[in-house]
Amino acid sequence: MSHLLLAETAPIHAPSVAYSSLSPIFIVLGAALVGVLVEALVPRAERYAVQMVVTIGGLTAALVAVGLLHNTAETTVAGALAVDGAGLFIQGSVLVLSVMSVLLIAERSVDVGSAIVASAAVVVGSPTDRRLARTDRVQTEVFPLLLFAVAGMLIFPISNNLLLMFVALEVLSLPLYLMAGLSRRRRLLSQEAALKYFLLGAFASAFFLYGLALLYGYANSVDLPAILNASKASPKSDVLLYVGLALLLVGLLFKAGIAPFHSWTPDVYQGSPTPVTAFMSSCTKIAAFGAIMRVLYVGFNATAWNWRPIVWAVAIASMAVGGIFGLTQTDLKRVLAYSSIAHAGFILVGLVALDKDGIASVLFYVLTYGFSTMAAFGVLMLVRDADGEATHLAQWSGLARKSPFVAAVMTVLLLSMAGIPLTSGFIAKFYVFKAAFHVAAPLVVIALIFSAVAAFYYLRIVVLMFFAEPPENGPTIAIPGWSTAVALTFGMVVTVVLGIFPQPILDLAAKAATLVG
């Protein structure tokens, strides 16, 4: 009771805000608001071009701001936000990859209009819906939606305050739920994906909130450093701490698509418009890993002995689910979804290390994986038949005969995901395994075995593309517009260059491997 009385009487001090350190977030949010105004004020014919300029301009400006902040290491807003190396690296990665996503979303030449439906609220199968599918009308709300999601992703990994982290989680999730339902083709699947993602996501958020409440009960604070101090000093029972952490992790693991909280991933990846899937599989994952890393490293560093086995278990579960269930898939988007689950497991292996090397390796991994997966989804957009994208495996057989170039690009990306040397995927895998080896050698060996399992389904796609005969009436390869071509080329070049000359980015990741508490 006395607390409450005190709170009523004590004056409230507004915390100081380091506006410059948070400028990337403000820039992206500002661009998003401008985007909303554009929707309201600019004539329909010009909206597309204007939105492109606003979105890409905003993201690029934010990226520049992140670059200018590179030496920052401070907490601000009363310790709720920590602008530090790791946070900025994650922010930079999210921004670069979101620019690529925007380029993929902006693709207008492979499908009538774009991959995004003109009006998502129309009843599926109604005459209006069928008419909409044929028009080249595009709706451009997706750009501000994406910007809001990106803003959430920028706050999420730098939150040292769990309540703020929860807000960021919601800010990034809500636009994503909507974007999942925007597919122009296969509307029903897309709406199912959106609803499923929303329901399960809301559920996961509730877990997060519950965990947060328990942690507040334990530490009397929702700041991560305060929780750390409480766990170091406290003679009281740890039950609240660990139950709280467990529930918190449910929410976080869900967002990162880690088994056993992965079941939404294949359905949502399959149903969402492919460029949006590319965005989710790279940017959301990166942001979520940034947050997981911060929670575990800043808030629970002292209690690592207790949570490490759990991370081991979910890492193994994730690699097993991703590797084994991936083998049975026949749809390429689902294959890539399971691949992303398996990769989440590999990234967790790096997290187990709990040192600077661990942070740097995770940073490098999420970035390189983001590029590969983004480009792979980009390639998926190009292989089409009359019904839209031809994502069934059988439709990909003999693809190399039709377009050796597209098949070669896909092969490089798949080899990178399989971790074959001379691609970025190998360097990334090597780095996380090296970082984790001294604390978790058996886990590394298990991870290597599952890399071999996962390699099987990547190779199966290569076998199909190169060694099998093309089917009658197979899909055609669309000629991409400039924006997709740029995004694809960039993803592919980065994948190869970081496989051969990874030094600059490795240096950057090593330099960025600091988390301030």
Partner 1 sequence: MHNPALVILVLIPLVGALAVFSLKQEQAKLAKLISLAVSLIVVVYTGALGIAYDVGSQADRFQFRGEWTWIKVFNVQIAVGVDGIALVLVAMSVVLVPAVILASWNAFDSRSGAEEVVLPGAKQRSVKNYFALLLLLEFFMIGVFVATDVFLFYVFFEAMLVPMYFIIGSFGGPRRQYAAMKFFLYSLVGGLLMLASVIGLYVTTGSHSFSITYLIAHPMPDNATQKWLFLGFFIAFAIKAPLVPFHTWLPDAGAEAPAGGAALLVGVLDKVGTFGFLRYCLPLFPAASRYFAPTILILAVIGILYAAFLAIGQRDMKRLVAYTSVAHFGFIGLGIFAFTTQGGTGAVLYMVNHGLSTGALFIVVGLLIARGKSRNVDDYGGAAKVTPILAGLFLLTGLSALALPGMSTFVSEFLVLVGTFTRHKGLAVLATTGIVLAAIYVLYLYQRTFQGPVRESVAKFRDLNAREVFAVAPLIALIIFLGVYPKPVLDVINPAVKATLHDVHQTDPVPQLGTAGGVK
Interface residues toward partner 1, by CB under 8 A: 360, 401, 404, 415, 418, 420-422, 426-427, 430-431, 433-434, 437-438, 441, 444-445, 448-449, 451-452, 455-456, 459-460, 463, 466-469, 502-503, 506-507, 510
Contact status, residue 165 vs residue 81, Cβ threshold 8 Å? no
Residue holding tokens 């089917």?
Answer: 471
Q: Least distance in Å: CB of 326 to partner 1?
A: 15
Q: Least distance in Å: CB of 460 to partner 1?
A: 8
Spatial distance between the Cα atoms of 291 and 387, rounded to a whole number of angstroms: 39
Nearest CA among 419, 460, 444, 453 for reference residue 324: 453
Q: Least distance in Å: CB of 485 to partner 1?
A: 20
Q: Least distance in Å: CB of 18 to partner 1?
A: 31
Q: Which is nearer to partner 1, 68 or 452 (CB)?
A: 452
Spatial distance between the Cα atoms of 66 and 23, rounded to a whole number of angstroms: 8
Q: Least distance in Å: CB of 397 to partner 1?
A: 10
Tokens of 53: 């300029």
Q: Which is nearer to partner 1, 88 or 427 (CB)?
A: 427
Tokens of 313: 């278990």
Q: Which is nearer to partner 1, 313 or 441 (CB)?
A: 441
Q: Least distance in Å: CB of 347 to partner 1?
A: 17
CA 17 to chain centre: 28
Bin 220: left if φ > 0, else alpha if -120 < ψ < 50, else beta: left
Contact status, residue 341 vs residue 334, Cβ threshold 8 Å? no
Q: Residue 444 corresponds to which amino acid?
A: V
Q: Least distance in Å: CB of 401 to partner 1?
A: 6
**DSSP secondary structure, 217-244, as one string:** HHHS--BHHHHHHHHHH--S-SHHHHHH
Q: Least distance in Å: CB of 422 to partner 1?
A: 5
Q: Least distance in Å: CB of 415 to partner 1?
A: 7
Residue holding tokens 């309201």?
Answer: 40
Spatial distance between the Cα atoms of 329 and 253, rounded to a whole number of angstroms: 23
Spatial distance between the Cα atoms of 214 and 242, rounded to a whole number of angstroms: 9
Q: Which is nearer to partner 1, 268 or 447 (CB)?
A: 447
Spatial distance between the Cα atoms of 416 and 81, rounded to a whole number of angstroms: 35
Tokens of 297: 């490293």
Q: Which is nearer to partner 1, 195 or 510 (CB)?
A: 510
Q: Which is nearer to partner 1, 166 or 364 (CB)?
A: 364
Q: Which is nearer to partner 1, 65 or 498 (CB)?
A: 498
Q: Which is nearer to partner 1, 291 or 342 (CB)?
A: 342
Q: Is the dihedral of CA 202, 205, 211, 215 positive or negative?
A: negative
CA distances from 233 to 220, 238, 243, 381, 487 (A): 13, 11, 18, 54, 50
Element (H, E) at 62: helix 44-68
Q: Which is nearer to partner 1, 456 or 482 (CB)?
A: 456
Q: Is the dihedral of CA 190, 192, 194, 197 positive or negative?
A: negative
Q: Least distance in Å: CB of 95 to partner 1?
A: 24
Q: Least distance in Å: CB of 463 to partner 1?
A: 5
Q: Which is nearer to partner 1, 270 or 397 (CB)?
A: 397
Q: Which is nearer to partner 1, 52 or 439 (CB)?
A: 439
Output DSSP code: residue 116: B
**DSSP secondary structure, 237-281, as one string:** -SHHHHHHHHHHHHHHHHHHT-TTS-THHHHHHHHS-HHHHHHII
Q: Least distance in Å: CB of 294 to partner 1?
A: 23
Q: Which is nearer to partner 1, 37 or 422 (CB)?
A: 422
Going by their DSSP bridges, the two strands 81-83 and 383-385 should be labelled as unpaired
Tokens of 517: 């508490």
Q: Least distance in Å: CB of 50 to partner 1?
A: 42
Length of the chain: 517
DSSP-assigned beta bridge partners for residue 116: 183
Spatial distance between the Cα atoms of 346 and 335, rounded to a whole number of angstroms: 17
Q: Which is nearer to partner 1, 196 or 434 (CB)?
A: 434
